[in-house]
């Protein structure tokens, strides 16, 4: 008699004519069931592995980078709207931060921060700190590091005063004669004009008007000071030093020199005289101390201003 079995879509019919065929049929049926079930398991496993691999590939794949135009470049013409953005991205004015308010300046409570010998590799950081607190300073510039001269544009466009210090800052060269001094002065003023569109009328003599290093040319400082007035220029010395050119090794020393220097100077200030601090932005320890100095000044009720031709003319006693 025939025997039929349906499994996985297959029909197997056996004709039982002898008992020996029964055992063989049963074995064949079991093999068929196992093959069908095994095929389904392998299919599900392969599908699962493929999905897992796709998920892992997606998770570990690096994000696509935005394409950068090979033709893009920073503007080189000083007349363009933005020549250089000095303010670092991580320096952001926090809401509620205590900042400088020049409009609230009161006589006797003014600090003029002045920086000589730059611009240089630290000037960008300094400009960021000043901008953070809305502090305007004065930069007496040189061309000792010409690769940074373009930052004169940023100094001026950020509202700071820019004055001539020296083109070369080589004492025996610039103080060799009056002609040599004014040739050096004009070179630097031309650089300032290149980046700001105007020449400056403020100056700080290398070494200050009281310097004695120029004594190899007797009387030259007396003559240069007189000529400064004749040329319609205004020169400025200082009454507090931060000490970065006198052996200070740390930012803490710079801070203490300034704070103590102001305290010592206050009792002897002349009528109308304000605090004028000599600093150098080519000293990293000085730049790193400025945030603490500014916060101290604001806490003491001082206002920070840039020097102009109308500022109190702090002059030293001339020794040559």
34 domain residue, yes or no: yes
pLDDT for residue 95: 56
95 domain residue, yes or no: no
- Name the pLDDT band for 26 (thresholds 50, 70, 90): low
One domain, residues 151 and 283: yes
Q: Burial-class residue 130 by CB neighbours within 10 Å (0-12, 13-18, 19+).
A: buried
146 domain residue, yes or no: yes
158 domain residue, yes or no: yes
CA 213 to CA 215: how far, in whole Å?
6
One domain, residues 38 and 130: no
Q: 44 pLDDT exceeds 80?
A: no
318 domain residue, yes or no: no
CA 175 to CA 223: how far, in whole Å?
11
Residue written as token pair 């590091």: 145
User: Is the whole model's pTM more than 0.85, yes or no?
Assistant: no
Which range of residues forms the domain containing residue 157? 102-304
311 domain residue, yes or no: no
Q: Do the Cβ atoms of 244 and 207 come closer than 8 Å?
A: no
Q: Is 100 helix (H, G, I), strand (E, B) or coil?
A: coil
233 domain residue, yes or no: yes
192 domain residue, yes or no: yes
pLDDT for residue 97: 80
Domains in the chain, number: 2
One domain, residues 208 and 277: yes
Q: Which residue has the higher pLDDT, 12 or 299?
A: 299
């Amino acid at each position: 008699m025939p025997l039929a079995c349906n499994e996985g879509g297959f029909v197997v019919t056996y004709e039982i004519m002898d008992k020996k065929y029964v055992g063989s049929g049963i074995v064949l049926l079991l093999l068929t069931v196992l093959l069908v079930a095994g095929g389904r398991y392998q299919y599900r496993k392969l599908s699962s592995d493929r999905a897992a691999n796709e998920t892992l590939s997606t998770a570990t794949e690096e994000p696509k980078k935005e394409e950068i135009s090979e033709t893009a470049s920073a503007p080189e013409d000083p007349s363009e709207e933005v020549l250089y953005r000095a303010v670092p991205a991580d320096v952001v004015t926090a809401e509620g931060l205590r900042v400088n308010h020049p409009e609230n300046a009161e006589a006797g409570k003014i600090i003029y921060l002045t920086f000589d010998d730059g611009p240089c590799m630290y000037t960008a950081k300094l400009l960021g700190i000043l901008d953070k607190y809305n502090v305007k300073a004065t930069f007496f510039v040189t061309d000792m590091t010409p690769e940074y001269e373009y930052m004169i544009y940023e100094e001026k466009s950020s509202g700071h005063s820019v004055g001539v210090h020296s083109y070369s800052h080589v004492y025996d060269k610039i103080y060799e004669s009056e002609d040599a001094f004014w040739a050096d002065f004009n070179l630097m003023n031309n650089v300032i004009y290149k980046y700001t569109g105007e020449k400056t009328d403020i100056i700080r003599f290398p070494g200050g008007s009281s310097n004695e290093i120029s004594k190899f040319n007797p009387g030259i400082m007396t003559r240069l000071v007189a000529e400064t007035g004749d040329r319609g220029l205004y020169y400025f010395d200082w009454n507090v030093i931060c000490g970065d050119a006198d052996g200070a090794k740390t930012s803490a020393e710079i801070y203490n020199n300034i704070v103590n220097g102001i305290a010592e100077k206050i009792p002897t200030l002349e009528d109308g005289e304000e605090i004028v601090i000599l600093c150098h932005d080519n000293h990293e320890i000085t730049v790193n101390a400025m945030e603490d100095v500014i916060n101290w000044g604001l806490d003491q009720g001082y206002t920070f201003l840039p020097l102009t031709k109308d500022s109190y003319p702090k002059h030293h006693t001339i020794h040559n």
